[in-house]
């Protein structure tokens, strides 16, 4: 007999749904406020998202002549696979979006009469704006959240997990299926347009800097709805995450290397000069593989990040969060080297969008890490992600409002209704052990689809992922089950795309094809659940 659920509050009527409340989602909600009623849905709470963990800063060209250099640095880091029009939008509109944030009360670090600007890997100039030394994401989310919560047209529902997107008979996105995590009730919520801003999928890997909520839900649900996903093989591994047994994988921002930190192997030897002329300031993919090679060569599980030669007072003031956190784990970074290891950090690929955030599904828009607007190419330039969230969150809002404005009035009505779904029976012995499957998935992705890949290992991983996906076709009833289903789907997409890109490029490295810029390197890998759906104009569509 199904158990009786307690009554659950109704969701506010909305013209627009924004799924996610990081930088991109908040900026989209703020932009949509003028166009109608906005409902922001967040699984868990806003404090659990990836944006608040962003340490390094936000890249913004402070001078007119630096805009072109910022564009060139972005394209160079992306190995030429960036879409030029998207990069141009990012660097041209970025300064205005950051100034807007400052007008709303953002407190970025200052130096004398101006702002303190740092330099990070692959940047040709000092252009990284930071807050609180190493707490830029936290400050940006604070300002955006305060601004958004002050606007009367925006309603909020935390602890609401979006299960799937709703499509009408014409294939247009008209809302979402939502799980109330508190009551277990499932709601069908309609809206004129939906903006996905659900973040990344780092949790598919055994080692990641991402918080537990980064399970790829937006990519998976958009894919199931028939949206095109692009370049899923490009997963960025941050070179330096804290490596200590039984401790969180704290990211140690590459701004530390920008301020003079050096990498040493387990023997204490500096090594980056052997891999790249820029040494510690080389692009992230090169630094991550160099560290991995040193770990293999020395049979070690980590290398060291060394700032002990720098002034202790400077380190404590410049990186207060990192200093205090490491100290909690009995590591004083001013006196001893820090053990670090690469960890999965950022998805360059995602749901394909144009430069206005529109996906291949009418009525569905996306911004931030869940999206692939084309600004990152094969390897993201450091500190471009927060900027991307601001710029394309605002653009997605403009495009969604414009789309909704052309709809017939009868399609604008929002409603919700309870859905009858089966309850999990006690003692479901035939059902998968989700935690066991999750651990197996994360190990598989780390070992077979990680920093260094090969065709043989990718094929082996894909076979296992397809088996898991088949076993997960039964209805999922809890948030955890739904997350694991999404993670398996995203893992399969990453693996499939990695197999199709047979040569190495940027963050995608094939040990069986280490050469870069092989035949067809410039194509984008497109995957789509519904092969009959129309690919974007100019797309080199590869469909399943």
Q: Are 432 and 482 in contact (CB under 8 A)?
A: no
- Angle made by CA atoms 193, 488, 470, in degrees to the nearest 5: 105
Strands (E), 15-119: 16-19, 38-41, 58-59, 110-111, 114-115, 117-118
Q: Residue 535 phi/psi, 5° resolution?
A: -75, 155
Q: Are 390 and 93 in contact (CB under 8 A)?
A: no
Q: Residue 158 and residue 46: Cα distance in Å, rounded?
A: 7
- Give the residue carrying structure tokens 């291949």: 360
Bridge partners of 264?
Answer: 270, 304
Nearest Cα residue to 340 out of 457, 444, 253 = 253
What spatial distance separates the first Cα and last Cα of the chain, rounded to whole Å?
A: 40
Nearest Cα residue to 107 out of 132, 86, 76, 78 = 132
Q: Are 208 and 235 in contact (CB under 8 A)?
A: no
Q: Which residues contact 178 (CB under 8 A, 6 or more apart)?
A: 11, 41, 160, 161, 162, 163, 186, 187, 188, 189
284 in catalytic set:
yes
Nearest Cα residue to 282 out of 76, 451, 136 = 76
Sign of the CA dihedral running 130, 133, 137, 142: negative
Q: Tell me, what DSSP letter sits at residue 305?
A: E
Q: Which residues contact 439 (CB under 8 A, 6 or more apart)?
A: none
Q: Tell me, what DSSP letter sits at residue 384?
A: -
Q: Tell me, what DSSP letter sits at residue 327?
A: H
Nearest Cα residue to 191 out of 171, 179, 178, 173 = 173
- Angle made by CA atoms 452, 454, 455, in degrees to the nearest 5: 155
Bridge partners of 110?
Answer: 115
Which run of H or E residues covers position 347?
strand 338-347
Q: Residue 420 and residue 318: Cα distance in Å, rounded?
A: 54
Tokens of 54: 């962003």
Q: Which member of 71, 284, 453, 477 is catalytic?
A: 284
Other Cβ atoms less than 10 A from the Cβ of 518: the count is 14
Strands (E), 412-493: 416-418
Which residues are catalytically annotated?
284
């Amino acid at each position: 007999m199904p158990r009786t659920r307690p009554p659950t509050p109704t969701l506010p009527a909305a013209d627009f749904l924004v799924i996610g409340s990081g930088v991109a989602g908040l900026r989209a909600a703020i932009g949509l406020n003028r166009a109608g009623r906005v409902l922001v849905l967040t699984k868990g709470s806003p404090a659990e998202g990836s944006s608040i963990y962003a340490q390094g800063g936000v890249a913004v060209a402070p001078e007119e002549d630096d805009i072109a250099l910022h564009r060139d640095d972005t394209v160079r880091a992306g190995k030429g696979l960036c879409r030029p029009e998207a990069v141009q939008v990012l660097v041209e509109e970025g300064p205005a979006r950051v100034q807007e944030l400052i007008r709303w009360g953002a407190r970025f670090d200052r130096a004398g009469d101006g702002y303190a600007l740092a330099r990070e890997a692959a940047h040709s100039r000092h252009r990284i704006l930071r807050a609180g030394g190493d707490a830029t994401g936290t400050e940006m989310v604070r300002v955006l959240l305060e601004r958004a919560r002050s606007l009367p047209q925006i309603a909020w529902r935390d602890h609401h997990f979006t299960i799937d997107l709703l499509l009408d008979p014409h294939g247009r996105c008209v809302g979402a299926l939502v799980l109330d995590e508190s009551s277990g009730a499932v709601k069908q919520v309609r809206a004129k347009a939906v903006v996905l801003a659900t973040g990344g999928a780092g949790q598919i890997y055994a080692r990641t800097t991402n918080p537990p909520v980064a399970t790829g839900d937006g990519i998976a649900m958009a894919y199931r709805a028939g949206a095109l996903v692009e370049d899923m093989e490009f997963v960025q591994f941050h070179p330096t995450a804290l490596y200590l047994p039984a401790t969180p994988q704290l990211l140690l921002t590459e701004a530390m290397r920008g301020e003079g930190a050096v990498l040493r192997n387990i023997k204490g030897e500096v090594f980056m000069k052997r891999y790249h002329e820029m040494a510690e300031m080389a692009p992230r993919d090169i630094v991550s593989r160099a560290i991995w090679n040193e770990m293999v060569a020395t049979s070690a599980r980590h290398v060291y990040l060394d700032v002990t030669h720098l002034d202790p007072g400077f380190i404590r003031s410049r990186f207060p969060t990192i200093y205090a956190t490491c100290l909690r784990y009995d590591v004083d970074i001013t006196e001893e080297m820090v053990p670090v290891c690469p960890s999965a950090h950022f998805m360059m690929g995602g749901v394909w969008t144009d430069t206005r955030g529109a996906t291949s599904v009418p009525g569905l828009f996306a911004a931030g890490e869940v999206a692939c607007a084309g600004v990152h190419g094969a390897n993201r330039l450091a500190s471009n992600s927060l900027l991307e969230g601001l710029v394309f969150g605002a653009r997605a809002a403009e495009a969604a409002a414009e789309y909704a404005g052309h709809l017939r009035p009868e399609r604008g009505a929002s409603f919700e209704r309870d859905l009858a779904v089966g309850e999990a029976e006690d003692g479901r012995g035939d059902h998968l052990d989700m935690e066991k499957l999750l651990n197996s998935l994360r190990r598989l992705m780390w070992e077979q689809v990680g920093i260094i890949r090969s065709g043989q290992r990718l094929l082996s991983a894909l076979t296992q992922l397809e088996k898991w996906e088949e076993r997960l076709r039964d209805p999922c009833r809890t948030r955890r089950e739904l997350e694991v289903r999404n993670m398996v789907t995203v893992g399969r997409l990453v693996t499939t795309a990695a197999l199709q890109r047979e040569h190495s490029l940027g963050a995608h490295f094939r040990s069986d094809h280490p050469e870069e810029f092989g035949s067809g390197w410039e194509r984008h890998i497109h995957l789509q659940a519904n092969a009959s759906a129309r690919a974007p104009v100019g797309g080199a569509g590869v469909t399943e």
